[in-house]
């Protein structure tokens, strides 16, 4: 009976994906899941103990990264952290292949778990809200950051990075994070280097910024909505719970769960649990293609 139910769910999944593709008039041969979506579970990595945010502020240089479909690939990547009342602003600048400045800003919302454990949630428009953890750092030379979103059981979107204070650090500094990730069962073969060579990373490219409309609002709408929640007296945890409810909506579509519990969610306006069509298409497409390329015994 269990195998039959699983088979029916997978058949239903492909039927929904086919409907989405037909509705969007998309050529299925051109579809591909995000490169970071793979089978597995998020690693159990949390914020470094007694994290000192003031020591962490300032500029870091991204040395190794997991390629992501959420941002344009670039070199000479600089990450700047600035403190705000509600968390941190993370600003990333990279040099594109056409010598333009790829500038993106994310908002890191400060949260606490069980009133004791601090962590951050990365907020950017049209992307899942995920924990952003500085898993290891000495504040002066290296930082190992990790973020992961468990789409459904056994399917994740995993991103992690090695950053340093020096644009061209010695090998032993890079090995701090490589060893840390390896020892915590994170697949470091996903990492690719970011070029910081002097000839490539001069300062001229920073002046070649793209028009603001091409770079997007970089999470500004989400941040404003979050701040509105604070003004209306909602706790930050409530704002995050709304996203968890959105995830349950997706799981209902994918796995056929009988209901989505949203009793703890405010039901007015933008507080309703929802998942945008873009979000649903992305998740369904990722699931379908990964399943097609993976042996599954049902």
Q: What is Dmax (Cα atoms) for the chain?
A: 64
Q: What is the pTM of this model?
A: 0.65
Mean of pLDDT values over 197-207? 84
User: If one looks up domain 53-222 in CATH, what number appears?
Assistant: 2.40.128.20
**Alpha-carbon gap, residue 164 to 139, rounded angstroms:** 9
CB-side exposure of 189: number of CA atoms within 13 Å?
1
Per-domain residue ranges of the chain: 2-31+234-292, 53-222
Which residues, 6+ apart, have CB-to-CB distance to 260 below 8 Å?
245, 248, 249, 252, 273
CA–CA gap between residue 118 and residue 112 (Å, rounded) = 4
**Average of pLDDT values for 226-237?**
50
| Burial (0-12, 13-18, 19+ Cβ within 10 Å), 2 | exposed
CA gap 285, 292 in Å, rounded: 11
* Rounded (5°) CA angle 186-241-54: 60
pLDDT in tens, 63-80: 999 987 766 778 999 999
Query: What pLDDT does 282 receive?
Result: 54
Task: Quote the mean pLDDT of the chain.
Answer: 72
Q: Which of 109, 93, 88, 50 is nearest to 215 (CA)?
A: 93
pLDDT beyond 50 at 14: yes
Quote the pLDDT of residue 257.
Answer: 40
Q: Is the pLDDT of residue 118 over 90?
A: no
Predicted confidence band of residue 217 (pLDDT cuts 50, 70, 90): very low
The residue-averaged pLDDT of 88-96 equals: 92
- Rounded distance between C-alpha atoms, residue 122 and residue 109, angstroms: 6
pLDDT tens track for 246-288: 444 444 444 444 333 333 333 333 333 344 444 555 555 555 5
Q: What local confidence, expressed as pLDDT, does residue 128 receive?
A: 67
Res 135 pLDDT > 90: yes
* Alpha helices by DSSP H, 190-235: 212-215, 220-231
pLDDT surpassing 90 at residue 93: yes
CA atoms within 13 A on the CB side of 85: 5
């Amino acid at each position: 009976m269990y195998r039959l139910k699983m088979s029916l769910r997978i058949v239903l999944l492909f039927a929904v994906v086919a409907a989405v593709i037909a509705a969007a008039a998309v050529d299925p041969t051109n579809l591909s899941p995000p490169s970071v979506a793979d089978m597995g579970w998020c690693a159990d990595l949390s914020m470094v103990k007694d994290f000192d945010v003031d020591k962490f502020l300032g500029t870091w240089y991204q040395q190794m990264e997991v390629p992501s479909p959420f941002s344009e690939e670039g070199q000479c990547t600089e990450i700047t952290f600035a403190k705000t009342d509600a968390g941190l602003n993370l600003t990333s600048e990279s040099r594109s292949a056409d010598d333009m400045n790829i500038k993106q800003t994310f908002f890191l919302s400060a949260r606490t778990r069980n009133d004791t454990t601090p962590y951050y949630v990365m907020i950017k428009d049209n992307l899942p809200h995920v924990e952003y953890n500085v898993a290891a750092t000495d504040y002066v030379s290296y930082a190992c950051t990790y973020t992961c979103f468990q789409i459904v059981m056994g399917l994740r979107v995993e991103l992690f990075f090695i950053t340093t204070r020096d644009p061209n650090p010695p090998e032993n500094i890079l090995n701090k994070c490589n060893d840390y990730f390896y020892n915590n069962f994170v697949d470091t073969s996903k990492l690719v280097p970011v070029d910081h060579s002097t000839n490539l990373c001069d300062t001229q490219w920073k002046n070649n910024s793209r028009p603001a409309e091409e770079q997007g609002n970089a999470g500004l709408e989400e941040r404003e909505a979050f701040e509105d929640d604070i003004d209306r007296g909602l706790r930050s945890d409530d704002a995050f719970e709304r996203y968890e409810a959105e995830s349950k909506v997706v799981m209902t579509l994918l796995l056929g769960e009988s209901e989505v519990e949203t009793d703890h969610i405010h039901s007015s306006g933008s507080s309703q649990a929802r998942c945008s069509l873009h979000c649903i298409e992305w998740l369904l497409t990722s699931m379908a293609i990964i399943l097609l390329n993976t042996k599954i015994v049902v």
